[in-house]
Each structure stands twice: as structure tokens, then as C-alpha cells.
Structure 1
Amino acid sequence: MPASEGSLKKIAISDLRSQRWYNAPAMRTFNHRSRTFQIGYSKGDFENKPVIAIVNTWSDFNQCHSHFKQRVEEVKRGVWQAGGFPIEVPAISLSEPMMKPTTMLYRNLLAIETEEVLRAHPVDGAVLMGGCDKTTPGLLMGAFSMNLPCIFVPAGPMLNARWRGHTLGSGSDNWKFWDEKRAGNITDAQWQSMEESIARSPGHCMTMGTASTMTSAAEALGMTLPGAASIPAPDSNHVRMASDSGRRIVEMVWEDMRPKSFVDMSSFENAVGVVMALGGSTNAVIHLIAMARRLSIPLDLETFDRISRRTPVLANLRPSGKFLMEDFYYAGGLRALIRNMLSLLNGDSLTANGRTLAENVADADCFDADIIRPLENPILAEGGLVVLKGTLAPRGAVIKPAAATPALMKHRGRAVTFSSRDDLARRIDDPDLDITENDVIVLKGAGPVGAPGMPEWGALPVPKKLLQKGVRDMLRISDARMSGTSFGACVLHVSPEAARGGPLALVEDGDIIEIDVAERRLDLLVAEEELSRRRAAWREPPPYYSRGYGAMFAKHVTSADEGCDFDFLGPAGETPEPKIY
């Protein structure tokens, strides 16, 4: 992954932002320099060099990033070699498995922290280190708003896991075998043995969950070096990629290559197309919309649906297919997939190494045409993700047909409703619950405001009594998200959400709901007169948080179709540079 050849310096040393701290004719310059000496650096280490912030989302709670303590040193090596001055800056880690109620609640906090830590310090460029689900969009949202030269270093997927003859995929097999345990087909001892086997190396989920979806989207956007997203975390190529990224960011600073200068609507269309071809996570819809809006790019649900209709699913990866990310990488990785589908992408889009997307994949090879399919032999002809609208979701909802039962893609059924996640947990396995496999499970109050934070509750459990009869999928609808590793006929992100008075709030037991994925429809078949009566009786639920960040989140978060960003973090206006006296 070489940096661009023949890179030319386009700005002068005096144009470096850090020079305001280090060389301005002010008393504070003395403090800045003397405190840098205090750390142990010599004048030659930092004088007249670009200062590169390495924003590191490592923590002991984030197992996906457990190798970042070492990778940051390898990024620093590249920065030093290229003539830059690297400074590591910690940022909130957002460990998907550990943070409750959901990392989605804190994605915007990471975005704020990233933007402000870059603005407040003498930084000329940034290396963004992330990978676990919300760290990728959070880092990029903040960096896009700050608009300094930046490059993303993905954490990389963990290695494949084996258990009792099964190849295990994180997330996907958690849900699959949990249903088998609930049905009485797996013992406690077998479950514990699986717990000890499913995660066997550093790195994020090795299924095509939200983590690999978003790092792949970052690469398709042009924010990484080519091929970076699919390298397994323990592979030595990952080490070299980290150092190459450190070298490249110094060049990007001299070239004044900022996100707004090369990331545009075509870049985001590439990212959406790649997500569709990967059978990627539904979460990408929310995150990419939020990221685009930080750059004043009008990405919307209609763009996702338009690209979905023309893009086949080419990656044979769980949960839509059979294989895992380690297999994908050694079959050619993301570069091979992009080359296979280049005719559907904007090949002229510029990327972080100074070359176009088409140039970056010109020499890519595919070594296994079952894992990375050609256009003429897809997993699905279209519809990796589908946007639905209708009387139940006037502003949209999403479903992932590639990971669902085909027979449920056109379905009409009776609603069985749950007012909250607590209500669902109490009643879903009640043997007296009035429910059949043809009914539609509806969860309310799981959206950005209602939950709060829009947790991954959308893969609603199939009732135990139906599992015991062999049922493994049902139509399930909510205003929640679900893990990208999940599978099933789950309609998600219903907007407006129930807590803000959307039609989902008005659904009652026995109402008829109809879905037609081919027609992009999701309808509540209840007369308008009856809905008007229910709407007049509806009352907004009391706030979950009375203070702190949670209260701020609920007050300012936008809806799922707008990216769940804060309403005050849009692109309007410019934040002034800090004053240095």
C-alpha cells in the first residue's frame, strides 16, 4: 500500500496550523515549546514539522481495539519517517459489546470529542484509529466537521473461530445458537464452551456486521489506504498498513488534502454501492447519512433505495452468506470486490492516497469466485438493503432481505404489540401469549428518544413456544436498530419513531400490517378515522433522562432518516479557530 508517488509539497511551513502555537510572536509560544521539551522531545523533533494527531479509541473495555496499543506505535513510526511530529490523543472508545444502553447513544459524543480535540490543539492532520461499530462513523463525523487532512486506520476483523466442527461467526452465531438454547437443543455446558471459542484474536466482528460494513464504507469513501478495511487485525499486513497510513498523512498535510476537497456525493454513492454489494449492515444507512451531512452532502433514503435496485449482493459473507472476513481477505478482499463492481461505481472519485478509486483496484485479483462473486453470478440480484415507506413508516424504514426468509418479503399478518423492551422481555416467552408464526411482532419505544439511544433491539426474539415448533423467523417491526451480524425478517428504523408520535405508536394488537418489499411498502391497514381517534388519545412518554448527556441527546437528536445526529451539529456556519494569546 504505497503512498502516492511523486507527491509535491503544495503549502509552506508558515501555512501549517501548528505554527500558530509553536512560532507565533506571543508569550504563549514560550509555554508551548517549553512544555513540549518537558515531555522529552528535542527542538528538532517538532520544529517546522506537521503535527499529526493520532486519535486512538483504545481502551481495556474495547476488545476489538486491544491491539491499538501496538498499532499506534506503528502509525507513529510512519509519521516520523515522513518528517512529521506524531502525538497520540485518546478518545472515548465505544466498545460495542460492553457499553449500555447502546454505543449509538455515544456516537455523537465521540464525534464532538474528535472535532474539538483537533480544533483545540496544534494539529495539522489526523490519523483516526477505530473499527468497532460506532467508532468509525463517530471519528469521521468529527473529522469531517473539523476538515483537517485525515486518514482512517481500520482495526481489522478478528480471525475465524471454530467450535465442535462449526466455523463460528461473532454475532450471527450468538443469535443462532441462543435460539437453539432457548429451544432446548443446546446445553449450558455447550453454551459456555462456545463462549470460550467464538472470539480468538484482536479485532472486531469477522462477520459482515456493522464494524466491517463501516470500515469498508470508509475505504469506498476514499478515507483509507486501498485494501485497508479487510485485513485481519493480527495479520502482518495490518502492521504495514498502519505505518503506511502514518507516512501518507504527512504527505496529505503538505498537499492540503482535506475531506471537503475530495469527498463528495460520488464518494458517498460509492460507499452506499459497496455496502449493498457486501450485504452490509442496516446501521450503515443511519451512519452514512450523518457523515454526509457533516460535509453538506444531501444523502438520503431515496439514494440508498436507488442504488439498492441496481446493485447485486456479491460478497458471500455471513449473515447473508457462508463465509467470514478472514476468508474474504484471502480471496482478494475489498479491492477485488470493488474491481468486480467498478462499472456500478464512480471510478474517478479521488481517495486519500491521491489516486482514483479505479486506479486503486486496477491490479486487484479475486482468488475465490464463490466468496467474492462476479456481477453475472451474485448472491442476490439486488436489494442488500431496502428502504420501505407507507402508512406505518411515512419517513421510511429499512430491511435486509439478504439475511431474511424470502417468503416473508410479501406478507400480511396480525400485529402482536409490545410497548417497550421490558414489556417484550416479560411476555415474549409466556406460553399463553396469543401469537402464531404468521403474526407480526411489533416493538414500540426503541428509537433514538424512546429507548433511549436506539439500541440494537430490533432482532426481536421469536417466542419460545414457536421456536420449539421449529419456527426460526417471523416478520418483526420496530423503531430500533439491529446488529449488522443479525438475521431475520426484521423491519427497523421505523420513522417517525413511536416516542415522537409516529404511526408505530398507534398500532394495537390485532391490527393488520402488510409488507411488500418488492413494492417498497409497509402499511398499517387501519382506517384513518380510527387512527385519528388513537392519535388524539396518545400522550408523549416522560423523558428517560432528567439531566446530563442523556437529556441533551433526547432533546437534540434527529430521527433515523436524518442520521440521528444532533440538530446543532449540522454543517451550517463555521466554528472559529481558537485564539492564542
Structure 2
Amino acid sequence: MVRSNFTPGTVRWATRRAQWRALGLTDEDLTKPKIAVVNSSSELAICFRHLDEIAARVKKGIAAAGGLPFEVRTTAPSDFIHSAGHGGGYILSARDLIVNDIEVGVEGAQLDGMICLASCDKTAPAQLMAAGRLNIPTLLLACGYQASGCFRGGHCDIEEVFLHACAVGGTASLDELTEMSDNAVGGPGVCPGMGTANSMHIVAEALGMALPGSTPVAANSPAMWAAADAAAIRVVEMVHEDLRPRQVLTEAAFRTAVRVALAIGSSINVVKHLQAVAEESEVDVDVLALFAEFGPRTPVLSAVRPNGPHTIEQFEAAGGAAAVMRQLGDLVDPAPMTATGRTVGENLAGITVADEEIIRPRQRPYATEPLIVILRGSLSPSGGIVKLAVGDERPATFTGLARCFSTQESAVAALAEDRIGPGDVVVLRGLGPRGRPGMGMASQIVFALDRAGLTGKVAVVTDGQLSGLVNRGIVVGEVRPEAAEDSAPSSTAFAPPLALVRDGDMIHIDIAARVCDLVVDPAELEARRPESLPEHDETGWLSVYRRTVRPLGQGAVLRPGHR
């Protein structure tokens, strides 16, 4: 008996039956497994514009397989749309709002399983987090990437628009920028390239929570529709088998996911999202430590933009996530169970690689050094992340003087006024999960430096969030602990080093040695009080988020009682 079926004659049975009979459901319907189709459809962003059609198709498939589908809606954050409010604070915080949306809709109704329609950056991690929290049979369905556009004979996508729009002094005229905007996006779906959304879709398959061979996928393509049909059938089977996420989301699964993320040069945002999934699934794993451990021992097997020259379409055609796992060979544990009811090894047994130039064998990788590098040191004692690209020629070390800012707007203004120059280290702080709150975006200053010709000549150190495609120059992102973490104005006992930096302090970054140091005498630091950060007059959701968010080392998940 499924949990959604209550004993006939009870109050809950009678009132539920009254509600659902009024919806046109039969008594036979009400005995079936009840499956949530979790949908983040929205007219605010093209990322989600196709999800209603997919939800309708999935619901038909579930019904045909003997289940009873119910569509459950959640909030639908898009970085390029929702970053306009409160300095981008609604972006990461919306991830955890989605988790709670799902809990209310699915757990409150005591449904039996769910299939989650994954689209833009925050939906996939949120849905995986909810799967781990609720622990009912769940499948993630990647709903695809958008078609790129063309600008004056060359490739153009949304990231190119963002890059040119961030240029200080302007490298594109208003007419050119308008034309780029007109042509950058060719249809619904997530940003093309190896950004956060495609990275998380691939990681979901690596974890065993998406069907083999389903990621990445072009939105509204025959392959996407085939995956939707297969997922609809499989999720009903999973309910009958009582195959739950915590049987899939094991420590071994997270180790595989990290290996795959390193092999594809994923977005750095995968690090905190995987940690959040582990926290919600109650798996004791340190994801940042796994990236540091596996990085030097995991070859880079693909070079999809911005990591290299290839497109996400070429990567999909070459075999996608499954092909990467196949090429990794014995670096992938074959034993863990997956949502198919089979092990990783069984899923990969029939996988072939269609193009070994796009997804290379281990013996001929694009790089032997990781594209995601974890730095530690006196400025980032709990870690900071550098994203590289294949064939990078940026300086391996950088020593410069700090120029401190609390908003990216003030940093960009200083650059425009020539108050930032070669040899400087832009310290952009107060943008972490607590500081913003919600983790503000720090990409604009990185792109602005690039367009100003200062890549490699100016470094950036920040506790803010970076675009999943940022890998220009020496940029240390998501520095831990964040500047606002447990800092007390009257004492340095708990002051994060990032909060103690002053203009003119020397900072030393060594990517090869995995070091990010604040070169200031410890006695001087002990005498300092934390630099005061702007106070944000947040109310509503952001005030709840600030009071309950945990540090990045715990995935920035929400837990009551955090100071």
C-alpha cells in the first residue's frame, strides 16, 4: 500500500476523497501511486518557457504507466532576471526556497514519488536537495539547453551579451549590443556551454538520479522527449520498487559526481550545490575536500565552452555524461545503485563514445591538471575556488596590493575612474550567503577587468558568487569563511580574515601551490577589528534566509539556530 492511500472511513480519507472526486478523479484513480510533477514554469525567463508542455507530456506518461500525476509548482529563479533585486540576493536563496516549496507541496500532501523538471541553475540542485530531504522515489529530468544565436557571422549566446555589457568604456556600441541581444537566444532552455545548469544536469546523472544518457540534452529535441517518456514510466516503477534517493545518494555516488565534474571542467557552483545535496541527504562527505583530493588525479576529458573550443551540442552528440563516465574507467566506482534499479557499472556496460576528440580517453586528456582548483591559506583558511580553462596561460602566481570593495558596482566604478590598475588585488567582500544575504554576484567586475585588458594583471578575491562560465584571469571565488561569518565588532576572535583586509595589504596567490595568503603580520591582524560591512535592510524571505543560512562548508543550506 502506498503512503498516499488512507484507511477508508477515516477523516483524512473522506476529506481527501471529496476534494479529488471534485477534480474528476475516480475511486480507481485514488488507489494509484500519486506522483508529483515538480514544475518551475515561468513567463519571466526563457529557461522555463517550455516546461508546461513537458509537464503535460510527463503527466500523460505517468497515467499510462499506472500512476496518478499531480503538477506541483515552485518558484522559478533565473540569474539574468532575478539578480536585479537586492544585489542578487534572491538567486542562491531561491534554491532553498524551491526545496521548501517542494516539501510543502509533496510532503504535505503525502505523495508517493516525484519527477522533477530541471531547468535553470538553481532548480536542479534544489530538486536534488528536496529528493534527499524527503527521501521518496524521485527522478530528475533535464529539460535541455537553448539554441545559441549568431552575431555578424560568429557564435553568440547570453554569456557573450553579458560579457560585452559589462565592459568598462564599452567595447560594443548600443546598436551592436542591441543586435547581440536580439540574436543571442534561439529558443527555450538553459544557457549553452558548461555553465551551472548543464553542469548540474550532468552531475545529476553522475549521482544516479537522472536516467543514463539523458544529459546534457537540447531543449525540445527528440532525445529530450524520449527521456521524458522514459522517466514517466520509470518513476512509477520506482514507487512500486520503493527505490528511494538515499539508496542512490551515497558517499560513493558523491565521489563519482566529483570525478565527473572535474573531468568536464564544471561550473564552480557545483561544489556548494553538491555539498547542499549531501547535507539534505545526511551523507557525511566534504565535497570541497574531494575536489582538492581528486583534482590532481582526474584528467580533463572535454573542453566545452568556456573551457575550450567545443559546443555543448558536440558534447551531447559525443555521448554526454555517460560517455565521460565510460572514459573515466576505473576512476568511477561501478557498485553504487542508481535510479534505474541497476548499478553504475551495469548502466555503463553498453555505452560507447561517439567522438573521442570531443570526449577523450584518459590516455589523451585535454589537461592533466584540474580546471577547478581549491586554494587555502591565511586569507582563505577554509578554502577558495579558482576556475581555469584548457590551455590557460594566466600567471600561476600573483602578488599584489588589496583594493577593498563591498559592492561590485563600487568596484566597477573605481575601475572606470582608473583607481584600479596592474598589481592590484580587488577584494570584493560581504557578498556571501549571510553578508548579502543570499550570495551576491561578483562576475561583473571580472568581466569588466577582462574587457579593460587587465586580465592577469589584476586579481580578484571574493566571497561572492561567480557565473558558472567565469574563468578569466586570477579569480579566487567563494572564499571561506565569508566576511560576514560570525564576525563580532568587539573582537577578532571569530573574525574571518577576509573581514580584516585593508587597502594596501599584500595578498599572495599561488595556484600551483594551492595558496591564497594575506601577507600581514599576525600581531597586526590581531589588533584589527573587522571592517564594517554595509547593513542591508532586508525583510521577508531574505531576512528569514539570513537568520537560518549555514556556511558554504555546509552547502549554505538552511537550519534554524544559526547566528
TM range (shorter): over 0.9
Shift of 1:262: 2.5
Select 2:23's aligned residue among 39, 64, 76. Answer: 39
Q: Is the 8 A contact 1:161 1:167 kept in 2?
A: yes
Q: Is the 8 A contact 1:380 1:402 kept in 2?
A: no
Paired residues for 1:23-422 under 5 Å: 23-44=7-28, 46-100=29-83, 101=88, 102-171=90-159, 173-178=160-165, 182=168, 184-300=170-286, 301-402=288-389, 405-422=392-409
- The residue aligned with 1:512 is 506
Structure-2 separation of matches of 1:296 and 1:195: 43
Structure-1 separation of matches of 2:35 and 2:227: 17
Structure-1 separation of matches of 2:310 and 2:453: 28
- The residue aligned with 1:574 is none
Select 1:552's aligned residue among 538, 544, 554. Answer: 544
CA separation of 1:546 and 1:404: change in aligned 2, threshold 3 A = farther
Structure-2 separation of matches of 1:462 and 1:36: 53
Partner of 1:132, secondary structure, is: coil
Structure-1 separation of matches of 2:340 and 2:50: 24
Shift of 1:487: 2.3
Structure-2 separation of matches of 1:445 and 1:409: 27
Structure-2 separation of matches of 1:36 and 1:62: 32
Offset from partner CA, 1:480-535 (integer Å, 9 cap, x none)? 11011222121111111112331111112221111112221110000011111223
Partner of 1:229, secondary structure, is: coil
Q: Is the 8 A contact 1:478 1:492 kept in 2?
A: yes
- Report the residue type matching 1:449 in the other structure: R
Structure-2 separation of matches of 1:280 and 1:47: 43
Shift of 1:178: 3.8
CA separation of 1:64 and 1:79: change in aligned 2, threshold 3 A = same
Amino-acid identity (%): 32
Structure-2 separation of matches of 1:55 and 1:462: 35
Structure-2 separation of matches of 1:56 and 1:493: 29
Partner of 1:298, secondary structure, is: coil
Shift of 1:86: 0.7
- The residue aligned with 1:455 is 440
Runs of 5+ unmatched residues, structure 1: 1-13, 571-581
Q: Is the 8 A contact 1:458 1:492 kept in 2?
A: no
CA separation of 1:462 and 1:52: change in aligned 2, threshold 3 A = closer
CA separation of 1:468 and 1:237: change in aligned 2, threshold 3 A = closer
Offset from partner CA, 1:277-315 (integer Å, 9 cap, x none)? 111011011110011011221221211211112112111
Select 2:554's aligned residue among 543, 562, 570. Answer: 562
Paired residues for 1:496-507 under 5 Å: 496-500=481-485, 501-507=495-501
- The residue aligned with 2:489 is none
Structure-2 separation of matches of 1:209 and 1:69: 24
- Report the residue type matching 2:439 in the other structure: M
- Report the residue type matching 1:374 in the other structure: P
Q: Is the 8 A contact 2:215 2:316 kept in 1?
A: no
Shift of 1:462: 6.2
- The residue aligned with 2:491 is none
Offset from partner CA, 1:379-436 (integer Å, 9 cap, x none)? 22121211111100111111112279543332212222223334224322103x1x33
- Report the residue type matching 1:123 in the other structure: L
Select 1:446's aligned residue among 431, 436, 440. Answer: 431
Offset from partner CA, 1:65-106 (integer Å, 9 cap, x none)? 211111011111221121111111111112222113241022
CA separation of 1:552 and 1:540: change in aligned 2, threshold 3 A = farther
CA separation of 1:550 and 1:134: change in aligned 2, threshold 3 A = same
Q: Is the 8 A contact 2:164 2:170 kept in 1?
A: no
Q: Is the 8 A contact 1:458 1:478 kept in 2?
A: no
Q: Is the 8 A contact 1:499 1:540 kept in 2?
A: no
Structure-2 separation of matches of 1:157 and 1:51: 29
Shift of 1:31: 2.2
Q: Is the 8 A contact 2:422 2:454 kept in 1?
A: no
Offset from partner CA, 1:47-73 (integer Å, 9 cap, x none)? 321011111111111311211111011
Q: Is the 8 A contact 1:373 1:379 kept in 2?
A: yes
- Report the residue type matching 1:525 in the other structure: V
Q: Is the 8 A contact 2:168 2:415 kept in 1?
A: no
Structure-2 separation of matches of 1:219 and 1:447: 29
The alignment's TM-score, normalised by the length of structure 2, stands at 0.92
Residues 1:527 and 2:521 aligned together: yes
Q: Is the 8 A contact 1:158 1:234 kept in 2?
A: no
Shift of 1:567: 2.4
Structure-2 separation of matches of 1:24 and 1:94: 41
The alignment's TM-score, normalised by the length of structure 1, stands at 0.89
Q: Which moved more, 1:330-339 or 1:195-204?
A: 330-339
CA separation of 1:236 and 1:224: change in aligned 2, threshold 3 A = same
Offset from partner CA, 1:227-257 (integer Å, 9 cap, x none)? 1121111211111111111110010000000
- Report the residue type matching 1:93 in the other structure: A
Q: Is the 8 A contact 2:168 2:416 kept in 1?
A: no
- Report the residue type matching 1:134 in the other structure: K
Partner of 1:450, secondary structure, is: coil
Shift of 1:554: 1.1
Residues 1:478 and 2:466 aligned together: no
- Report the residue type matching 2:516 in the other structure: L
Q: Is the 8 A contact 2:217 2:224 kept in 1?
A: yes
Q: Is the 8 A contact 2:169 2:416 kept in 1?
A: no
Structure-1 separation of matches of 2:177 and 2:448: 20
Shift of 1:265: 0.3
Shift of 1:463: 6.0
- Report the residue type matching 2:523 in the other structure: E
- Report the residue type matching 2:51 in the other structure: F
- Report the residue type matching 1:269 in the other structure: R
CA separation of 1:322 and 1:334: change in aligned 2, threshold 3 A = same
- The residue aligned with 2:490 is none
CA separation of 1:468 and 1:117: change in aligned 2, threshold 3 A = closer
- Report the residue type matching 2:471 in the other structure: F
Structure-1 separation of matches of 2:9 and 2:161: 60
